[in-house]
């Protein structure tokens, strides 16, 4: 256990269950009660207690890191927050982008445990924003892949990116809930602190980025759906046109095949020539009829200028 005595408050950083007893001796049995509620919890959780004025508390659990490809691979820590105490249990600062010394310096500047807790949340959000910055490059490449080398693989990448973005959003939404819960538990006075305002903006920035990237991905999905639908229509059009153009040869062949008296090869000297000519002329007539109706060529090209459908 690490205990930091700051200006007007204490921060207990607990890593083992045995540390709970030591803290409860200093802060009372309420700590044991809190730990019993959260020790087996593996999901985001919040509890606000405002039953005693000036002794409000906020406690819970927060998933602060999650792997993209594994559902059960995530990190969670538990916290207890009052007007003079911050307790974190199982919080591991594994960030590659955050200087632990700077983290402690910022926490020392905090005027109360609420601001200290917001500093920790802010550092976690900073790490998430690093991941989102790398995601921006991935999304940019995906946008150009859709234009230059679109395929099923590209569509799969779009949905993989969409899933990744949903995971980041799922991680960040509880931060917003905690921010609102802090105001609910401790009042509007806490919003006047510099650290609280700074971290609140960082949370909003992260969520705004995710929302905007989500819109871009939705546009890509819509684009892919339109392309797929158009190509499906092209396939159906091709099959329909091919079947229609083959109708004369099938119809004349069936007619002559059922008529045993008048067949090209029996009594007509130029029977096959005449029959082929009839089939070709019939096919050409069908072709030009389809073309006059605009059913040949590009489906999206209108026959009339300044018209979408005619």
DSSP string, 112-152: SHHHHHHHHHHHHHHHHHHHHHHHHHHHHHHHHHHHHS-SH
> How large is the average pLDDT for residues 260-278?
65
User: pLDDT value at position 136?
Assistant: 85
Structural contact between residues 102 and 73, judged by C-beta atoms closer than 8 angstroms: no
Q: How confident is the model at residue 302 (pLDDT cuts 50, 70, 90)?
A: very low
User: pLDDT tens digits for 161-173?
Assistant: 999 999 999 999 9
User: pLDDT tens digits for 12-52?
Assistant: 999 888 889 889 888 888 999 999 888 888 999 999 999 98
Q: How confident is the model at residue 268 (pLDDT cuts 50, 70, 90)?
A: low
Q: How confident is the model at residue 300 (pLDDT cuts 50, 70, 90)?
A: very low
Q: How confident is the model at residue 233 (pLDDT cuts 50, 70, 90)?
A: confident
Q: How confident is the model at residue 108 (pLDDT cuts 50, 70, 90)?
A: confident
Structural contact between residues 168 and 125, judged by C-beta atoms closer than 8 angstroms: no
Q: How confident is the model at residue 267 (pLDDT cuts 50, 70, 90)?
A: low
Residue 294 sits at φ, ψ, to 5 deg, of 80, 20
Distance of CA 17 to the CA centre of its chain: 36
User: pLDDT value at position 307?
Assistant: 42
Structural contact between residues 220 and 154, judged by C-beta atoms closer than 8 angstroms: no
Name the pTM for this structure: 0.74
Structural contact between residues 24 and 13, judged by C-beta atoms closer than 8 angstroms: no
DSSP character at residue 97 = S
Give the integer Cα–Cα distance in Å for 78 and 238. 62
Give the integer Cα–Cα distance in Å for 207 and 174. 11
Give the integer Cα–Cα distance in Å for 30 and 145. 56
């Amino acid at each position: 256990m690490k205990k930091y005595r700051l200006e007007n408050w204490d921060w207990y950083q607990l890593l083992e269950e045995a540390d709970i007893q030591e803290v409860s001796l200093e802060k009372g049995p309420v700590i044991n009660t809190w730990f019993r509620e959260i020790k087996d919890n593996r999901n985001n959780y919040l509890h606000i207690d405002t039953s005693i004025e000036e002794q409000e508390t906020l406690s819970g659990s927060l998933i602060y890191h999650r792997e993209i490809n594994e559902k059960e691979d995530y990190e969670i820590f538990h916290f207890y927050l009052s007007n003079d105490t911050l307790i974190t249990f199982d919080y591991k600062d594994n960030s590659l982008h955050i200087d632990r010394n700077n983290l402690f310096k910022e926490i020392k500047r905090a005027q109360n445990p609420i601001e200290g807790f917001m500093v920790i949340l802010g550092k976690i959000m900073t790490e998430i924003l690093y991941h989102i910055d790398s995601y921006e490059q991935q999304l940019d490449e995906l946008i150009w892949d859709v234009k230059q080398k679109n395929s099923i693989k590209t569509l799969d990448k779009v949905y993989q990116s969409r899933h990744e973005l949903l995971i980041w959003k799922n991680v960040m939404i509880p931060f917003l809930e905690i921010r609102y819960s802090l105001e609910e538990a401790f009042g509007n006075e806490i919003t006047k602190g510099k650290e609280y305002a700074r971290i609140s903006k960082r949370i909003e920035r992260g969520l705004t980025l995710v929302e905007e990237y989500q819109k871009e991905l939705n546009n890509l999905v819509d684009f892919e759906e339109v392309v797929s639908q158009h190509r499906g229509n092209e396939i159906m059009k091709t099959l329909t046109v091919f079947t229609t153009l083959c109708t004369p040869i099938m119809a004349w062949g069936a007619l002559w095949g059922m008529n045993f008296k008048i067949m090209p090869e029996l009594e007509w000297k130029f029977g096959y020539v005449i029959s082929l000519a009839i089939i070709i002329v019939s096919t050409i007539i069908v072709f030009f009829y389809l073309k006059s109706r605009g059913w040949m060529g590009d489906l999206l090209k209108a026959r009339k200028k300044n018209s979408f459908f005619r």
